[in-house]
Amino acid sequence: MKSRKDIDKKLEELGKLLYKEIKEGKNPYLDVPIRSLSNVHFNPKTKLIELGDATSKRYFFNVAHIRKFVQTLEVAALAKELLNVDKHLSLRQVFYAMRKTLPGTKIDIVDEQTESNQAVEDLELITGASREELHINANKNGAAAGKIIIKDKGDIIDWSKLGSGGWAIPSNTEGIEFQKVDAKFVIYMEKAAMWERLHEDRVWEKLKCVIIASQGQATRGIRRLLRRLNDEHGLPVYVLTDFDPYGWYIYSVLKFGSIALAHISRKLAIPEAKFLGLTAEDIKKYKLEKQKIKFKEVDLKRLSQIKEYDWFKEDKRWQRQFKLMKEMKGKVELDALITRGISFVSEKYLPEKIKNKDWID
């Protein structure tokens, strides 16, 4: 993570550059990387969905550019203020903070949140700082438990001593310091109910690990947390989802990044993430065929989309899963393993899968 001082300096440099151009009688502009699909690609070397090099110049004296130009500067000014007072706002709150009338006019700087959101993303690209480093937070969700002690806002927090609830993961996990990491790996799961089941069985103690869940897609805060544990402490990240196109999409985003956030894949995505969720082979092995939930039209459509993703297209193991799911015409939830016993996931499924390296990576 870049320091507050570094980011502040970057914002100041941006301001000084524009000021210089104005003083020299030039038409000031911003060089903004293009975020449209044409500039997004999958990089087979890094295994990440990345933004290309294409940029476009956004001029102040250009009727088509000026609105976005002003919005980007307004969010830069706001970010500088947030850094100076060391406070954070959510995207929604940033929208309100920017929703004001230009002095001497009847024009509001932003009318819709999509405008302020885009300005934030542009500023991320221009400065190379993430939204979180600019003190603008995304959603808060999720909980963590396990063999890790962190320091956050001056508090020492032991993730193994937080009762049945665990530690609530903040929207912004940049500032967290890992004080002691006794865990050998991290399990991320898409459902809080499964997290509670595993937590009650103290899986993190028995397998010496950390368990993290949100609800569905992982928040940016969770993605950074997983990425940092992988980067800074070399912990493998196992992703536990249903046998389901949506579960696979959650895994896909965690591992390869997403098109919408391609500009930040290098900070958020975890190319080493491993899929530990249900496979077609597990369904057979654990006799879960009866627990199948029949596909709707929308599931089939989702499956055929995922099958064509660049990062899955050449992967035989994944193509095999897609093919077998198509034949089954249905999905199976992880919770279905409850039919094998209340603690089956904790005592059999996870230890065996991990011992046998029975994952897809």
What residues act catalytically?
Answer: 96
- Whichever of 51 and 288 has its CB closer to a second copy, that residue is 288
Q: Pick from 182, 174, 157: which is nearest to 223 by CA?
A: 174
Which of 17, 107, 128, 175 is close enough to bind a second copy by CB under 8 A? 175
Measured distance CA(169)–CA(89) in Å, rounded: 16
Q: Which is nearer to a second copy, 347 or 361 (CB)?
A: 347
Of these, 336, 349, 353, 354, which contacts a second copy (CB under 8 A)? 336
Q: How far is the CB of 87 from a second copy (least distance, A)?
A: 5
Region near a second copy per CB under 8 A, out of 30-38, 44-52, 123-131, 329-337: 329-337
Cα gap 63→85, rounded to integer Å: 34
Give the contact letters, 33-72, x = binds to a second copy (CB under 8 A), - = no: ----------------------------------------
**Contact region for a second copy (CB under 8 A) — 25-33, 51-59, 135-143, 259-267?**
135-143
Number of residues that bind a second copy (CB under 8 A): 61
Q: Which two tokens stand for residue 102?
A: 């230009």
Q: Are 239 and 277 in contact (CB under 8 A)?
A: yes
**Contact flag: residue 152 with a second copy (CB under 8 A):** yes
| CA 4/CA 83 separation, integer angstroms | 7
Please say which residue, 268 or 288, places its beta carbon nearer to a second copy: 288
By CB under 8 A, which span of 53-61, 116-124, 153-161, 229-237 interacts with a second copy? 153-161
Rounded Cα gap, residues 236 and 92, in angstroms: 34
Least distance from C-beta 335 to a second copy, angstroms? 5
**What strand order describes the sheet that includes 177-181?**
155-158, 148-152, 177-181
Identify the DSSP state of 218.
Answer: P
Q: Does 182 bind a second copy (CB under 8 A)?
A: no
Q: Going residue by residue from 267 to 306, which x/- string records binding to a second copy, judged by CB under 8 A? A: -----------------------xx---------------
Q: Map 271-335 to HEC letters.
A: CCCEECCCCHHHHHHCCCHHHCEECCHHHHHHHHHHHCCHHHHCCHHHHHHHHHHHHHCEEECHH
* Choice between 51 and 110, CB closer to a second copy: 110
CA distance linking residue 204 with residue 95, whole number of Å:
40
Residues 353 and 230: their CA atoms lie apart, in Å, by: 20
The DSSP symbol for 172 reads -
For a second copy, the closer CB: 287 or 323 = 287
Nearest partner of 203 among 358, 354, 357, judged by Cα = 354
Query: Does 77 engage in binding with a second copy (CB under 8 A)?
Result: no
Q: Give dist(CA 21, CA 278) in Å, integer.
A: 58
Which residues of this chain interact with a second copy, rule CB under 8 A?
A: 81-82, 85, 87-90, 92-93, 95-97, 99-100, 137, 139-144, 150-157, 161-172, 175-176, 192-193, 195-197, 200-201, 215, 290-291, 333, 335-339, 342-343
